[in-house]
Structures are given as C-alpha cells and as structure tokens.
Amino acid sequence: MVTHIEFDVLRNAAATAMTRAYAPYSRFPVGAAAVTAAGELITAANVENVSYGLGLCAEVALVSVGVSQGSLEGLGGEGGKRLAAVAVCDGDGRRLTPCGRCRQVLLEFGGPELLVDGVDGPRPLGDLLPDAFGPADLDRVREL
C-alpha cells in the first residue's frame, strides 16, 4: 500500500498525459494522473467530440483506463485497487481542481479520503464534495 504520495511525480505524469489530449474544439487540453493504493500509476487526457456533450474529461478517462486495465475497482473493490491520489493539469501545466461531475466519478473509485491535488496543495475529496451522493443513498431506498 502507498504510504507516501509523490505529487511532483503525479503532476509531471499529468503534464505528459495532457500532451496527448484531443481538444480541437475548446483548445483546452487536460491531463490527469493518479496513483492507486497499490502504487500503480494511471494517466489519461481529455477527449473532445464535435457534439460537445459527448466529450470525456481527463479524470473520467483516467477512471476508464484504470478499470479497463484492471487497476481499479469501484467502492466495493479491494483496498489496493482504489485511487489514493490524483493530479490534473491544463495545457500550461497549471493545477486544475476536478469539476463536480469528475469529483463524483472519482468518489466511486477513491472514496472521500482520495487526495486531490490543487492550487493550495492536496485535499481529501470529501472536503471538495461534502455530503456526496453514494451507494448508501441507494441502499436506503432499497430497504423501503
């Protein structure tokens, strides 16, 4: 299990991933990098589409890559197959904080303790997405 997060490594990996972004419409390339609790590095970039709503944020692409390669499992997954930390950057290498949609997706694969890099340094996702909707909300409805 990861005990120390090298955010400089994550930031550099996010910047490298950003160079592979497909952003011809917004011209706003974004890269994301994460480390799992088992120490695996995952990277991805945003992928736009002419039908704007079909584009993928780098963070959502990152989760898709991690699940596809067997590095990530959702909330019920093993401890090592969870996100431990994530860094996101723009085309100039500046740190970006994930949008609300991406925060919700990251929650599913890292939980509220996931460390999210930002301008003021890393913060737990639970601080960025308080009172988040999650499986417990669905379980409550199923019990009725």
> Does residue 137 carry a pLDDT above 90?
no
pTM of the model as a whole: 0.93
Catalytic status, residue 6: no
Q: What angle do CA 28, 99, 34 make, to 5 degrees?
A: 80
pLDDT in tens, 68-108: 999 999 887 777 899 999 999 999 999 999 999 999 999 99
pLDDT in tens, 47-75: 999 998 999 999 999 999 999 999 999 88
User: Quick one: fold of 7-142?
Assistant: Cytidine Deaminase; domain 2 (3.40.140)
* Pairing relationship of beta strands 123-124 and 41-45 according to DSSP bridges: unpaired
What is the domain partition of the chain in residue ranges?
A: 7-142
Catalytic residue among 6, 59, 108, 143: 59
CA proximity to 32, closest of 12, 54, 2: 12
